[in-house]
Structure 1
Amino acid sequence: MSRHSSVFRRFMFSYVLILIIPSIAGYMSYRTSISVTRSVSIENSVTQLQKSQDILERRMDEVQAFTRQLAINQDLAVLMNEKNVGDKSNVYGIWKMMKSVSTMGQTNDFLQDFFIYLNNYNVVLSPGSAYFRPEHYYENFRYADMTLAEWQRQVLGRTHRGEIMPMHPFVDKGAQKQVVTYMQSLPLDSFGDTSPATVVVMIDASMISNLLSGITDRYGGWVRISDAEGRTIALQGIGEQEVARIASDHTFDKRRQSQFYKEDLVITIPSGANGWIYQAGIPKQVLMENANKIKFITWTVTGAALAIGLIVGLLLSYRNSAPIHRLLTVVREQFGQEGERERNAYDFLHGNISEMIVNNKRLETELHRQLPLVRDAFLKRLIAGEFQSRDEIRAAASQAGAGFAGGAGYAGILQIDGYSGMDSVEILNELSAARLLLKRALSERTEDVHMTDLGSDRIVLLFVRPDDEPADGESGRQAIARLLEELSDSVFEAYRISVTVAMGDAFRTDTEVSASYEQAKQTLEYAHAGNRNGILWHRETRINSGTYYYPLDTELRLIGTVRAGELEEAKRIVQSIVAENAERRELSLEMRHQLVGELKGTLLKLLDQKAFQDSELFERAKNRIIEIPETEKLEAVQAEVNEVVAAICGRINSRKNDAHIRIVEQIKRFIEERYSDPELTLYRVAEQVERPEKYISQLFKEVTGTNLSDHLEHVRMDRASQLLRQSNQTVDDIAASTGYNSSHSFRRAFKRVTGVSPSAYRQTVHE
């Protein structure tokens, strides 16, 4: 603790300061708990009442929809329009309609009690029964406060347009209840004093009250629904006398949505659909009870949070000060301890880290400045054939930021005409400007070209397409030809610069770029000898030469490719050598013998390695190379050379795979031994096996099919699973013992790998 005392005190002071904030918040919460609880309760009550309103209005809309459905019923329309002649009635039609309406109330409890009155037949149709005299229906179903004559006059004898009669006492086969009545005349556009038919729906008031029970059950209050005239539709938790007393009190404002009236909070919501008024009362003591609960919870939580916060603050202060102290130690070791007494730890770190950032930015700026030079050097090495394998080329391209796609393409040389043999300062400046103009013009026309200067008046061009877009076909060559012709015409017209472009044959891989470049040089020499201008292709020239084509750089490239085990690439190099000498040159017999001898010498050089001298392959391959006849056609020699190359590559790849497996096993053993080290990184593993980080990362992925980081995580998770099953260690201890700096990152990694949290995994195992 003494080592970190300064930093520790700073952390602890910050945590204590933070703890004061929730204490103040707890006090403010105590002061505002009553008002907040009241507002929340009002909002919840309004919401609950609005929900009940929405439900009830939807149910009433269903009742209205029911009457509209009857209005379009064909059977009912027939009955309404028939004329009753004497005592004759359409018994069958009435019976059919009675059966039809018997099932209409099964999906909505608001439609359990209804009837249809046919005025022409003086018949009342109800579900399951037909009454040919209304007084017969009245004997079983009637309003307790309405006589038969009043019922016939007010209900059956009038035209109704969606009228609702407020709550009335009703006798249902001797049983007393309260009902709300909905009445609609048919057809819907009926006018006058009477109508052909009337639909009457008696809705049990208890069903409406049940829709409002959520408020009364939750708060123990009361609910009332009234129509626009103040007549009661539904009532629960309060009597009519109390309702009348509230309505007559001048202190009660009927227009306010919420207000306190005596010991209740009264909420009033008018309906815009039918003019009904929804009112709910909530006892004030319920609000105060919730406020007291909040008060108790606030003080309890605040006190507990202060106590726990102080303990956690002590632990976190020590834990967070320790890594800063370690960082200080490292920085002091690197930068010395000058000014340590005068400055605190944070100033010391700030100054040194700022210096590192500034130096890093300077280095980054310098690297960006040098990047074009590095990219240019890479392209020069590429066309010179200095790389031995594709992996080496692509690694160098990535390092140089060349963006070299590595696909097929063409190499060429663009020469500015008219400056041969001139080397004055003015001429060199003029050529430099011309090269810059040509590069910019070509870059504006295509992105698939790489350029580097070759002397003062020449530019090397590399047209490259990605691997999945072949450029060695006729269409690719024609596209490049059109591009170069357009470039030549435009620069001549704009700057009076004339150019000659010599293009080699297509290269299929990046290792063949140098061969295509050599062909371009030969083509340029052919153009100079023949005084040719414009765009020339190597395939359009034929060299009459008494010597064979097998330059040193091609031999070195073939040797490097075979030693890298790249069989297909080696075969392409051999094929290009044979094609150049057999198709494009007229070799004498003696020159052909010398070429075959050179190829045999190259193969013998490949066998002169320790990997082959102590193997059975050495003697067999050596004898086979010696036996290659020099009198055979070059195509036959190519087949023999390819077979020897295939045998050598197979041996090299076999030894390479064995070496790769040994390295991977070494990596696995190292991870098994050091998985508990939180500092175990890719750099540490690469340092152990003495290989570059990128190399071992790719090698491990190729051999095992798994990323090295994923393998390390799975090793740690396997050990963690074992500890969770077989030990009683806490999750924090297991996280530390498996190489994790924090239990949070361990829990997240464990759930990502296994699908469950560590605690759930341990509980499942125990169960």
Structure 2
Amino acid sequence: MKKIWKLYQRNSIIQFLISYILVLVVPFLILSYGFSRSFFIVEEEIKDSHVKMLQRSVNIIDNNLERLESMALQITENSAIKSMGRSRKTDKEYIITAIDAVNEFYDITHYQTIDLLDEGYLYFQGVDLILYSKTYYRPEIFQRYLQNWGTSLTSWRKNVVAPELRVPVYEKQGNTIEYRKPFSEYLVGDNNGVLVYRLKESGLKELLDFGNVYAGEKYAIMVFDHDRNLLWSDGSRQEPELAEHAFDSHGYFEKEGQSVIRVTSGRNKWDYVLVVPQKTALLRLGALKNLVFFLGGSAIVIGILVSVMMAVKKGRPINEIWGVLSSAGKNTDSYQKMGEVVTGILQDHQNLLSELEMDKTSRKKEFFHELLKAGFDSENQLRISARKAGISMDDTEYVVASFELFSNNDFNDIDSQTLDELRIIIRLIRNKLEELYQDRVWFYKKNYRDTFVIFAVEHNYEGIKKTIAEIYDWLVAEYQVNTSWGIGKVCDDLLYLWKSGEEARYALAHADAQMPVVEYNAKLVSDNECYFPDIAEEKLEVSLRGGHLEEVRELLRILKRENFEKRKVKRSLFIKFNRKMTELLSRFLKQDSSGKDLILWLNEIVINPEESHEEYFDRLDRVCQRICQETGEKKKQQRGIMIDNIIAYMKENYMDSGLGLAQVGTVFRVSEGYLSSVFKEQAGINFADYLEKLRIDKGSELLKDGSLTVNEIAAMVGYNSVQSFRRAFKRVKGISPKEARS
């Protein structure tokens, strides 16, 4: 020991080395104690955060269950539901009572959105019927749904329809939880019925999903009722023992490498138990410990090396080390802010995707409404709208059907009760068709009792006709309601779906009591009328005004086929057809001798009985071709004037850094897409390339002025940074601004 002391006193290097090591080790020991206490506090906070995380989900579930039970009470106390519960099949007003029950059950459920509610149904003891999804079922028919939910009809009658069951109850059923509420007017005796709600399994999984917290590790979540019966679970781990003394004040205990977190609902005393691997539950704490020990060990090693070096040089490393730590701290803060920005962008993207998905249903309805009204002017416009609506247009055929309720009633004779029945029955028809065809059927309500149905055929046209006949028979058998149906021809081009709609309407007009379902065919066509519906006239006018010759020719082919191949119209109807056509064409022809000559040229064919309709439509095609050509030239001239004005505007405002398609489109009241395509067509160059060249040409002129710096010139020609100006200059001129100036 004395030799070491003497060595220390004689050797200055060892003195400095030991001094520096003590300066490092002593603070490290103090920090180690502080870290150990901090780790304990952090561990307690992590446990508490896990419990609070589970508690938040429990609170949301409790809120949903409270609203669900309140809605269930409202339904079972409803007068229409009670009336249906007292009903028997022999009652005189049985059908009206049943429809009122459907209406009330649907309205109450529809206007109270509960996230955890998946589906529900009502069972009425007196009539032995089940009201589900706006339709009544006998239990023998309804058992296919019960089997899908994991129960048999016998078990269902024993557990759900049990007359001795008098209080509401939650029970595990299949992969989810069922809430059952019996209802009766008396305290004793059999129930009038029972209301059953099935909770949404995906909703439970979403609320009790902690995969992002536990970094993809396997975990299990279980829900027990107040009698410790398992109601629902997600995960493969075994059920833990719920001994009260095992949990600490946080509702947390660890056993056999597992961390068990329990939260008890204050509302219904359910236990929510989360089981995760112990290492996963404290994953963040373990990562923090590893990081601290790694940094501490690295600091000791680096410190000793620095101490040896500085001891030899007799220097002081404290200031340099402090500078390095300060610099590292700034970089860490920068990375943290960058991470927050990225997280925000991802969250905004996810929200946008959710909104688009919710909007897709309304876009589909709007899309087919426009089709039936011939609202699309071009194939390109139709395809863009179809893409936004999520509808595939490839290898699919479509057909339109139209149905009418109470066709024997006059409009003025319809009372309010009949209108209510109409709404209920239309709702039942829609439900039936959507159940069979899912997302391959759409509806367009024309008026209070006429509705169009659009089917995606997919080579199953006969199946659609069979389905419509079955729906007709079902309405007569179940509700004593007569309907009339008209079915159009198959359409393989969505742009002309309106024609199938017209055919369905025409077929519906020929439906009667002896033939309630009528399919459009050539036998329905009368020889005493020509085919030129208003919608075809409007479509032809729009196509001529837009200069779309191919669409005009397709409409003329339809008119020719319907009038001269199917109807074989007489000369008098031919004259009537020509008069209507020439009135339409006169709106586009010049009111001079050339325009009048074209009309007379068409009239020659109609007046001369020896001329055929083939020659007439040949001349008609030439007239329409001339109109489309003149329209196209006029539009091109107008677009040229607009682009000249836009270029003049750009030359006056090129120094504005915000100048772009959006700003110019707003000023000239056109869309960015239209402006981009028309600019390319008229100017022969992209909008952005023209703007860049304009700015660089102006910058080249300013470079001749030696008093201006490159930074000043960049700002004067609309660039926010000199780097952007240099890159653009190099791209356009092939040299840098400095080289150009020299």
Query: TM-score under structure 2 normalisation?
Result: 0.45
Query: TM-score under structure 1 normalisation?
Result: 0.44
Query: In terms of Rg, which structure is larger?
Result: 1
